[in-house]
């Protein structure tokens, strides 16, 4: 999967994974505080933040595996810097990365317009929600509450990861720091 990658692409995905591992861990604490006030639904509003590195990496690199690898790397680093669930967070990263990667794969890794990035955020929301439904005992909750949780996670994935990931990447592109990456060669940063 990585044999067609350039060293600078591997380095960029690694750097993004480290940065977002720190962001992810910070948002665990923010989510915990908010959940103490309004319950488990609090996480759903911000869940898209935990998918964003996969969207940014895929949008910039535009190669198979970018979404998946960056999400798994970020989860692994998050575990190493102190996520309380330990190695299980790596499985969470795999599940979330697969959701985004599947969307890019369905486009043949040729489409990176905003709607695709939003759909990739939605893909991560779906796979992560199925995982947490079973791992977190959502079946014990009232079905309407669970449906609301899913709806919020889906919107969060599309907005925070999809739209937010595109905006952050486009801002990085404007600095000139992404010259030589696929995003700079595409000429379509407004799509």
List CB contacts of 142: < 8 A, sequence separation 6 or more: none
**CATH number of the domain to which 22 belongs:** 1.10.1760
76: Cα separation from own chain's centroid? 14
Contact between 16 and 33 (Cβ < 8 Å): no
pLDDT at residue 39, rounded to an integer: 86
Please give the structure tokens belonging to residue 26.
């910070």
What confidence score (pLDDT) does residue 1 get?
A: 61
CA atoms within 13 A of residue 21's CA, in its CB half-sphere: 24
- Per-residue pLDDT tens listing for the chain (191 residues): 667 999 999 999 999 999 999 999 999 999 999 999 998 899 999 999 999 999 999 999 999 999 999 999 999 999 999 999 999 999 999 999 999 999 999 999 999 999 999 999 999 999 999 999 999 999 999 999 999 999 999 999 999 999 999 999 999 999 999 999 999 998 654 44
Rounded-to-10 torsion of CA 90, 135, 32, 167: 60
Range of the domain at 59: 7-177
What confidence score (pLDDT) does residue 40 get? 83
Structural domain contains residue 190: no
Residue 186 counted as domain residue: no
- Token readout for 90 is 């790596």
Q: What token pair was written down for 37?
A: 């006030």
Determine the Cα–Cα distance for residues 114 and 158; give it in Å rounded to an integer: 10
Quick one: which of 58, 50, 70 has its CA closest to 156?
50
- Count structural domains, the chain: 1
- What are the Cα distances from residue 28, in Å, to 3, 6, 33, 34, 43? 34, 33, 9, 10, 9
pLDDT value of position 26: 95
pTM: 0.94
């Amino acid at each position: 999967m990585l044999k067609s990658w350039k060293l600078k692409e591997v380095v960029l995905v690694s750097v993004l994974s480290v940065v977002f591992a720190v962001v992810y861990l910070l948002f665990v604490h923010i989510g915990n505080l908010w959940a103490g006030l309004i319950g488990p639904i609090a996480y759903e509003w911000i869940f898209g933040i935990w998918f964003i590195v996969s969207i940014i990496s895929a949008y910039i690199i535009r190669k198979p595996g970018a979404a998946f690898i960056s999400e798994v790397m970020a989860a692994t680093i998050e575990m190493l810097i102190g996520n309380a669930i330990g190695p299980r967070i790596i499985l969470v990263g795999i599940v979330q990365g697969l959701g985004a990667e599947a969307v890019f794969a369905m486009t043949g890794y040729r489409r990176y317009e905003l709607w695709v990035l939003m759909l990739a955020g939605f893909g991560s929301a779906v796979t992560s929600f199925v995982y947490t439904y079973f791992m977190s005992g959502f079946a014990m909750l009232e079905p309407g509450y669970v449906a609301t949780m899913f709806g919020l996670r889906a919107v969060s994935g599309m907005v925070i990861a999809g739209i937010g990931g595109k905006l952050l990447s486009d801002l990085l592109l404007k600095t000139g720091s992404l010259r030589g990456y696929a995003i700079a060669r595409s000429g379509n940063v407004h799509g």
